[in-house]
Amino acid sequence: MHDRSLDEFADGDAGGDDDPTDTSTERAERATAPDVGAERPPNGDEAGDAEGAAVTYEWTPGGAACGVCGASVETRWRDGEAFVCADCKEW
């Protein structure tokens, strides 16, 4: 078997996957129809409710105090209820 060019498979129509029996009106109606699967939460929250998700790492450009030793560090990890530096984190 030899390699073949994609040009051998193209029909010369740049229209893509459109069904040739569709009229332009039918295609336009499908293109403007609302996506029923893309409903938003009733409260308008874009991200939805991330119940159960917990932040485990924090980066603060200016530094923030470690929850155990008080040292000012840029990167802290959650250890229990506090954010701590790498030295205080129980790995």
Going from N- to C-terminal start, the domains of the chain cover 56-86
Helix then strand count (H, E) for the chain reads 1, 3
Q: How far apart are CA 47 and CA 86, in angstroms?
A: 30
* Burial of 38: CB neighbours in 10 Å, binned 0-12, 13-18, 19+: exposed
Give the predicted TM-score (pTM) of the model.
0.43
Q: Which residues pair with 73 in a beta bridge?
A: 64
Query: Who wins on pLDDT, 37 or 91?
Result: 91
Measured in degrees and rounded to the nearest 5, phi and psi for residue 32 equal -100, 0
As a whole number of angstroms, the distance between CA 73 and CA 40 comes to: 39
Instruction: Please write the tens of the pLDDT for every residue from 10-56.
Output: 876 655 555 556 566 666 666 666 666 556 556 555 555 667 788 99
